[in-house]
Amino acid sequence: MGRTSKDKRDVYYRLAKENGWRARSAFKLLQLDEEFQLFQGVTRAVDLCAAPGSWSQVLSQKIG
């Protein structure tokens, strides 16, 4: 049988699912934090565009 479009998704999509992230965009936020220390000293944050929720997941892990 042929591969479906879901089978052809990139490596970050598969890594996100394996690591429990809602979307691959979590890796981008983690990368930005690693480079610029975005969450250093942060105690509260608001995610105003909360779909699909991977950034909220990262925020809760980093500052929660």
* Each residue's pLDDT tens digit, 36-51: 999 999 999 988 887 8
Residue 7 tokens read as 């089978």
Which residue ranges make up each domain of the chain? Answer: 11-63
32-51 burial by CB neighbour count: b if 16+ within 10 A, else e? ebeeeebbeeeeeeeeeeee
* Each residue's pLDDT tens digit, 6-60: 666 889 999 999 999 999 999 999 999 999 999 999 999 988 887 889 999 999 9
Q: What is the pTM of this model?
A: 0.78
**Chain centre to alpha carbon of residue 30:** 7
Burial class (CB in 10 A: 0-12, 13-18, 19+), 55: buried
